[in-house]
C-alpha cells in the first residue's frame, strides 16, 4: 500500500508541478495493462535489492497533450519530443518510487529511460512479479502507471 500511495502521490505531483495538467485516479486496482493500442510506453528498469520495471503507458492523444504542455508548444505527431517527454516522465516516476524502496540510493540502480510504441502490443513480465497498476484520467483520456517487482 505504501508503494501504491507513492505511485499515486508522485504521479499527481509530477503532473501538477511540471506537466501543468490536472489528473485524477480512475482505478487503483487495475489487474494489468492488457493489450495496449496506439500507445507509447516509457520504461525505467530497477536493479539491486529490488528488481523490476516502472512503466507509464500513454495513449497517443494523451501523450501529445502531455508533450505539448511539457514543452509549451503544440505537438501534433508522435516524434522524438514525445518519446523524450514520456521517457522523462518514467524517469521521474522511477526516481520517486525508488525512494520508498531504499533510503540511501546506492542499493537500487535505475536504468536510463526507454520507450516502446505501436498500434498493438502487450507489456508482459518474463518472471514472476508483483504488479501494481494505477489508471489515471486526464481531459484527453486515460493512462496507466505500472510497477512490476520481482518476487
Partner 1 sequence: MGKNVLLVDDSSTMRKIIGRSLRQAGLEFDTIFEAGDGLEALAVLEKEKIDIVLSDINMPNMDGISFLREKASRDAIKDIPVLMISTETGDDIIGEAKSLGAVGSIKKPFTPDKVNEVLGPLL
The runs of H, that is alpha helices, within 15-102 are 60-71, 80-101
Measured from the CB atom, the residue of 52 and 113 that comes closer to partner 1 is 113
Cα 16–Cα 98–Cα 65 angle in degrees, nearest 5:
30
Instruction: Kindly state whether residue 47 participates in binding partner 1, applying the rule CB under 8 A.
Output: no
Is residue 96 close enough to count as binding partner 1 by CB under 8 A? yes
The least distance separating partner 1 from the CB of residue 126, rounded to whole angstroms, comes to 24
Residue 84's Cβ-count burial label (10 Å; 0-12, 13-18, 19+) is: middle
DSSP 3-state of 42:
strand
> What's the farthest any 2 CA atoms get from each other in the chain?
42
Q: Which of 1, 2, 17, 151 binds partner 1 (CB under 8 A)?
A: 17
Angle at 111 between CA 115 and CA 27, to 5 degrees: 60
- Does the protein bind partner 1 through residue 103 (CB under 8 A)? yes
* Minimal distance, residue 122 CB to partner 1, in Å: 27
Is residue 71 part of the contact set for partner 1 (CB under 8 A)? Answer: yes
Query: Using CB under 8 A as the criterion, which residues of the chain lie in contact with partner 1 when the complex forms?
Result: 13-14, 17-18, 67, 70-72, 81, 84-85, 87-88, 91-92, 94-96, 98-99, 102-106, 110, 112-113
Amino acid at each position: 500500500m505504501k508503494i501504491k500511495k507513492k505511485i499515486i502521490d508522485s504521479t499527481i505531483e509530477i503532473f501538477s508541478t511540471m506537466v501543468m495538467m490536472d489528473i485524477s485516479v480512475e482505478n487503483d486496482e487495475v489487474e494489468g495493462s492488457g493489450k495496449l493500442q496506439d500507445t507509447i510506453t516509457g520504461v525505467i528498469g530497477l536493479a539491486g535489492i529490488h528488481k523490476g520495471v516502472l512503466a507509464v503507458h500513454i495513449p497517443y492523444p494523451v501523450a501529445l497533450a502531455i508533450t505539448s504542455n511539457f514543452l509549451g508548444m503544440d505537438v501534433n505527431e508522435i516524434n522524438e519530443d514525445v518519446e523524450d517527454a514520456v521517457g522523462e516522465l518514467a524517469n521521474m516516476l522511477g526516481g520517486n518510487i525508488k525512494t520508498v524502496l531504499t533510503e540511501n540510493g546506492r542499493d537500487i540502480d535505475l536504468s536510463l529511460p526507454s520507450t516502446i510504441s505501436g498500434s498493438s502490443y502487450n507489456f508482459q513480465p518474463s518472471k514472476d512479479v508483483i504488479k501494481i497498476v494505477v489508471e489515471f484520467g486526464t481531459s484527453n483520456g486515460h493512462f496507466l502507471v505500472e510497477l512490476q517487482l520481482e518476487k
